[in-house]
Amino acid sequence: MPHPEQPSAFPALTDTEAAAEARRIIADAYRPAPATPTAYRDDTPVPAYGPTPPVVQPGRPPMSQGATDASALMLAGGATTAMVGGTAAVLMYFSQFADPVVCGLVFGAPTALVLALARLAQFAKRAPAVHHHYEGPVYQDQRNVHSTTRGVWAKTTNEQ
């Protein structure tokens, strides 16, 4: 509480002045926003190649192609397992006499088959795509060189 001899930080208002100030504050609160934009979108096209960094797109987060394939495989495997397990649970519940071991064997066989096929599919990988961008005359020589080094005294043989 301020000391009575010190001037107040806020001057005392009469009732009419206080009502006018309240009306002004309320009017300012309901006044429409200024017409100046708060955001700007640059629609100029970006170059197809060059030093422009990649922009994260909506959807799945950026990751390598192998990670994308693995996550899709995990999502599909999880959905398949949930459907197979749900079907087995519904069958056992409604039949009231289904043997859980038999249901496990019948409904687990497709999941085991999918897991075995996925394990085999790991060995069938596609060759990586190679992209080259050149300007001007270019001589391109792609050879495979097989090197073998044998013996106590090293003898290297390069074969094309």
DSSP per residue, 65-76: HHHHHHHHHHHH
Please report whether residue 49 resides in a domain.
no
Looking at the structure of the chain, the number of domains it has is 1
Per cent of the chain over pLDDT 90 is 8
Please report whether residue 54 resides in a domain.
no
Please report whether residue 44 resides in a domain.
no
pLDDT, tens digit (0-9, with 9 covering 90-100), for 107-145: 778 778 888 888 888 777 777 888 888 888 888 777 777
Please report whether residue 134 resides in a domain.
no
Which whole-number Å values give the CA distances from 115 to 19, 86, 101, 124, in the listed order?
77, 18, 20, 15
**CA–CA separation, 8 vs 1, rounded Å?**
10
Q: Which domain holds residue 97?
A: 65-121
Please report whether residue 88 resides in a domain.
yes
Q: Evaluate if residue 20 carries a pLDDT over 90.
A: yes
Please report whether residue 3 resides in a domain.
no
Please report whether residue 108 resides in a domain.
yes
